[in-house]
Amino acid sequence: MALAAGGYAYSADDFRALLETHAVDVLQADASRCCGISGFLQADALCDAWHLPLSAHCAPALHLHAACAAKRVQHIEWFHDHARIEAMLFDGAPRVRDGRIAPDPGRPGCGLALRHADAQRYAVPSAG
């Protein structure tokens, strides 16, 4: 059984430690934790050097475009609760079709546009 880990790693040094100790068969990276898209692509470069696959950890809308640019991404982890929240608050959230997702090349950036009116009901008043 292959082992995947690294979704809570914060730096290239964290990923390298997992690889150097042969602790994983699949490295996971989460751009919301590892210095954004740049950190995610650093994890991909490490996976390429170690000849291991990379898995995008959670937040499919965040990782979809980066995964398309990465060389070693095997899959994007899909949590229904993340996808549901993305669909509730953003236009352009990816949708599963035949077990796959694909970016919309007609949308800029990560393809998302915040629906401000829908998000407003979850706003937290600032302190002070």
Q: Does the residue 126 lie in any domain?
A: no
pLDDT digits (tens, 9 = 90+) for 73-112: 999 998 888 889 999 999 999 999 999 999 998 999 889 9
Q: What is the CATH number of the domain that holds 89?
A: 3.20.20.120
Q: Does the residue 91 lie in any domain?
A: yes
- pLDDT-based confidence at 58, cuts 50/70/90? confident
> What predicted TM-score, i.e. pTM, was given to this entire model?
0.87
Residue 66's domain spans which residues?
Answer: 4-120
Q: Does the residue 45 lie in any domain?
A: yes
Q: Does the residue 8 lie in any domain?
A: yes
Q: Does the residue 60 lie in any domain?
A: yes
Strand ranges in the chain using DSSP code E only, listed in sequence order:
4-5, 26-29, 54-56, 73-76, 90-91, 113-114
pLDDT recorded at residue 81: 87
Q: Does the residue 125 lie in any domain?
A: no
The total of structural domains in the chain comes to 1
